[in-house]
Amino acid sequence: MLTREEDVLQAAASWRQEGRGVALATVVETWGSAPRPVGSHLAIDEDGNFLGSVSGGCVEGAVVAEAAEVIADGSPRLLEFGVANETAWQVGLSCGGRIAVYVEKVS
């Protein structure tokens, strides 16, 4: 079952209201074949719980890890993943495309 984007945003707001540290990851750009379209969201709380999707597989794990740092230090990050990226050997997209994901702390 796919989660609606509205559900992801509502979860992020609800978690924040509960006093949890929360980050929101958003696909801001895609090139070529990408698993999720621009505007897709992933909400992550300080305990590593998450809802939504920005890609899948290893990419999502890397985004969750970066989100923990964003929650801790408050500094947003722009992450890029794909075969033409310096992270291709660590985390890449099997579809051959590239994506950019913006991760920010929810205040």
Q: CB-based contacts of 17: which residues, under 8 Å, 6+ apart?
A: none
Instruction: Report the alpha-carbon distance of residue 64 to residue 105 in Å, rounded.
Output: 12
DSSP string, 2-56: PPPHHHHHHHHHHHHHTT--EEEEEEEEEESS-SS-TT-EEEEETTS-EEE-SS-
Q: How confident is the model at residue 67 (pLDDT cuts 50, 70, 90)?
A: very high
Report pLDDT for 93: 47
**What pLDDT does residue 104 have?**
98
Which residue shows structure tokens 């099997």? Answer: 94
Q: How far apart are CA 14 and CA 52, in angstroms?
A: 14
Residues 4-18: what's their mean pLDDT?
93
Mean pLDDT, range 46-57, rounded to an integer: 91
Q: How far apart, in whole angstroms, are the C-alpha atoms of residue 27 and residue 50?
A: 15
Identify the pLDDT of residue 96.
Answer: 65
Number of folded domains that form the chain: 1
pTM (2 decimals)?
A: 0.85
pLDDT band, residue 106 (cuts 50/70/90): very high
Q: Range of 69's domain?
A: 5-105
Per-residue pLDDT at 23? 98
Are 23 and 64 in contact by the 8 Å Cβ rule? The answer is no
Q: What is the pLDDT of residue 58?
A: 81
pLDDT band at 5 (very low <50, low <70, confident <90, very high): confident
